[in-house]
Amino acid sequence: MNGNLKLAIQKKGRLTEKSLDLLKNCGLEIDSYKERLFVSARNFNVDILFLRDDDIPEYVQDGVADIGIVGGNVIEEKNSEVNRVRNLGFGKCKLMFGIPEEESLENPAELQDKVIATSYPEILNKYLDKNSVSAKIIEISGSVEIAPTLGVADYVCDIVSTGTTLKMNKLKKSLTVLESQAELIANKKLSENLSKINLFNELISRIDSALTAKKSKYLMMNVPGESLDSISKIIPSLKSPTIMPLADQELFAVHAVIPADRFWQIVEDLKANGASGILLLPIENMIV
Ligand code: PRP
Ligand code: ZN
């Protein structure tokens, strides 16, 4: 046992690549993992454990891993005692009812006495209780969507991300039970280990700056002097924009950090106000 922080991520699945991307955006150098169970980062005292996502909450609860990245759906289902530290903004999906294409299900009351196949019996049970209906739950651990075709269930209750799996099985989306995304979780006693909590705090601040950076872009453009006022009003800047005179006396270079999702809303306004040479650049990291 070394004193490294142990971070569990999904071994193979929807969250694997994006979890690794996030860690790389935090400056961690991680060797290719392939079939290995764990790798150490080369430049940070963290060991990455590759586990089945369903096992991650429990391993973090028991301290086998100190922290983990896993979907909120799995955390809810496993009911483990862990601290939910951050939403990570990726791996967004919904736990939904999937029903045969020709049927309809618009109200939880219509679930009465139905047979529902799911890998999420805990969450589904709570949902049924909350809506005061009773239905028969069939727990299946994989390929849940095939159950209606096989005639073993009326409906499924499963994770929908793009919706392709439902379509392939001639099912369609119905009621939503839970919205989920990747979350960072931590062992409840982590704060008792001083060296690990220091590593954890360092990692969290890197994660926060990577998340902020992802939501922001660096906007650069040239603006005629007389438009500076109107352009400044259009830019939703974190701080005031940087304005620099160019060799061409008429023009100024304007730089600003803007929320990424606002760019397409303001670009026509910027052009209409005389902006030219508009560039939008990704930001790798942002310390705020
Ligand atoms: C879910 C679900 C479907 C698939 C749906 O599995 O069980 O198989 O994703 O995605 P789609 O709407 O994009 O087709 P998940 O990624 O949670 O994997 P796991 O059950 O193996 O952990
Ligand atoms: Zn799983």
* Burial degree of 126 (CB within 10 A; 0-12, 13-18, 19+): middle
Of 70, 140, 165, the residue with max ligand 1 atoms within 8 A of its CB, to mutate for a pocket test, comes to 165
Which ligand is nearest the CA of 144, by number?
A: 1
Q: Residues near 180 by Cβ (< 8 Å), separated by ≥ 6?
A: 71, 72, 73, 76, 91, 92, 93, 94, 95, 159
Beta bridge partners of residue 178, listed in sequence order? 95
Q: Residue 238: what pLDDT? A: 65
Atom 6 in ligand 1: residue holding the nearest Cα: 159
Whole-number Å distance between alpha carbons of 111 and 115: 8
Given a contact cutoff of 8 angstroms between Cβ atoms, the answer to whether 113 and 134 are in contact is: yes
pLDDT tens, residue by residue, 231-270: 989 988 767 789 999 987 789 999 999 988 889 989 999 9
Q: Residue 239: what pLDDT? A: 72
| Check whether domain 5-91+182-213 has CATH 3.40.190.10, yes or no | yes
User: How close is the Cα of 165 to the center of ligand 1, in Å?
Assistant: 8
Q: Residue 152: what pLDDT? A: 96
Of 19, 56, 93, the residue with max ligand 1 atoms within 8 A of its CB, to mutate for a pocket test, comes to 93
Cβ < 6 Å from ligand 1: which residues?
13-14, 53, 158-165
CATH 3.40.190.10 residue window(s) in the chain: 5-91+182-213, 93-180
Beta bridge partners of residue 253, listed in sequence order? 222, 244
CATH 3.30.70.120 residue window(s) in the chain: 217-282
Q: Residue 249: what pLDDT? A: 78
Of 56, 78, 120, 161, the residue with max ligand 1 atoms within 8 A of its CB, to mutate for a pocket test, comes to 161
User: How close is the Cα of 163 to the center of ligand 1, in Å?
Assistant: 9
* pLDDT tens series, the chain, 288 aa: 688 999 999 999 999 999 999 999 999 999 876 777 889 999 999 999 999 999 999 999 999 999 999 999 999 999 999 999 999 999 999 999 999 999 999 999 999 999 999 999 999 999 999 999 999 999 999 899 999 999 999 999 999 999 999 999 999 999 999 999 999 999 999 999 999 999 999 999 999 999 988 889 999 999 999 999 999 899 887 677 899 999 877 899 999 999 888 899 899 999 999 999 999 999 988 877
Q: Residue 36: what pLDDT? A: 78
- Buried b / exposed e along 56-88 (16+ C-beta atoms within 10 A): bbbbbbeebbbbbbbbbbbbbbbebebeebeeb
User: How close is the Cα of 100 to the center of ligand 1, in Å?
Assistant: 18
Which ligand is nearest the CA of 72, by number?
A: 1
pTM: 0.86
* Burial degree of 123 (CB within 10 A; 0-12, 13-18, 19+): buried
Atom 2 in ligand 1: residue holding the nearest Cα: 159
Query: CATH number for the 93-180 domain, one of 1.10.3720.10, 1.10.10.10, 3.50.50.60, 3.40.190.10?
Result: 3.40.190.10
CATH number for region 217-282 = 3.30.70.120
